[in-house]
Amino acid sequence: MAMDKKAGAIVKHAGGVIMIKEVNADGTDLSTPDTFKLLSFIDDGAGLSDKSPIEKQTDETGGVIKTTYGDREVIVDGMFMQSDKDLLDFLVDGCRNKYFAVYRYEGIVNKNHQEFFYAIGMFTPQVELKSGAKLLPFEITMLKNESDITILNAALPAGHHLGGSTDVVIPANKYYVSVETAE
C-alpha cells in the first residue's frame, strides 16, 4: 500500500449507488437466491464507520499501564433521498429479521472506480419523515462473516461496475472489502 498525498483521492460527491441482496445469517445465498436490488438515491453524507475503541487499564495511581481494543463495530449509514411507499415499507417491515449482502459504489477516486462489498448486514428498522426535503435515515450494522463470502461478478444488474470483471471474495472475519479498478 502506497500512502502518500493524492489530490485525485479528494472527492466532493460519492457515486450514490447502494444495492442489497437478501442472504442467510451466515452470508450464503438463500435456497432460492435473491438478486441485488438498487435502493434509493443517497445523500452525499452517507458513510462507513469501522471502529474498535481503545480500552485503557490503569494502575492504582491512575496511570495507563495497558491498552486493548474494544468491540469492533462496522456501520454503513446515511440518508436516502427518496421517500416513496416501496422504500418506506422496506425500512419499516421489509428489512426486519433479514440479512443482506451490501454493495456500495463510491464513484471515481484518484482515477479509479471505488467500490465496497459487505458480506452480511442488518438494517435498523426506522422511518423518520419531516416536512421539506424528505430524507430517510438508514443504518446497516455489518456482521462478522465466519467464512469466506464470494460475490459473483454476474450477480449485480448490468451496467454496474462490480470490481471489474472478476468475482469478489470477502475473507472470513473481514466484514467487507474495498476494490479499486482503473477507469
- Give Cα 112 distance to the centre of its chain: 19
Judge whether residue 5 has pLDDT over 50.
no
* For residues 155-166, average pLDDT: 66
108-145, pLDDT tens digit by residue?
888 888 889 999 999 999 887 777 767 788 999 999 99
Query: What would the mean pLDDT of 165-181 be, rounded to a whole number?
Result: 89
Rounded Cα distance between 57 and 50, Å, is: 23
Per-residue pLDDT tens for 31-44?
A: 988 888 888 888 76
CA distances from 72 to 53, 66, 114, 144 (A): 7, 18, 23, 10
pLDDT per position as a tens digit, 10-61: 445 555 788 899 999 999 999 988 888 888 888 766 689 999 999 999 999 9
* Look-up of cell digits 483521492: 9
User: What percentage of the chain carries pLDDT values higher than 90?
Assistant: 44
pTM of the model: 0.83
pLDDT at 86 over 60: yes
Contacts of 86 (CB under 8 A, 6+ apart): none
- Rounded to whole angstroms, what are the CA distances from 57 to 53, 61, 71, 72? 13, 11, 15, 18
Phi-psi region of 162 (alpha: psi -120 to 50; beta: other; left: phi over 0): left
Q: How far apart are CA 7 and CA 14, in angstroms?
A: 16
**CA–CA separation, 166 and 181 (whole Å):** 11
Residue 169 has pLDDT above 70, yes or no: yes
Find all residues with CB under 8 Å of 127, minimum gap 6, and list them.
Answer: 88, 91, 92, 136
Share of the chain above pLDDT 70, in %: 84
Parse the chain into domains and list their residue ranges. 14-55+68-182
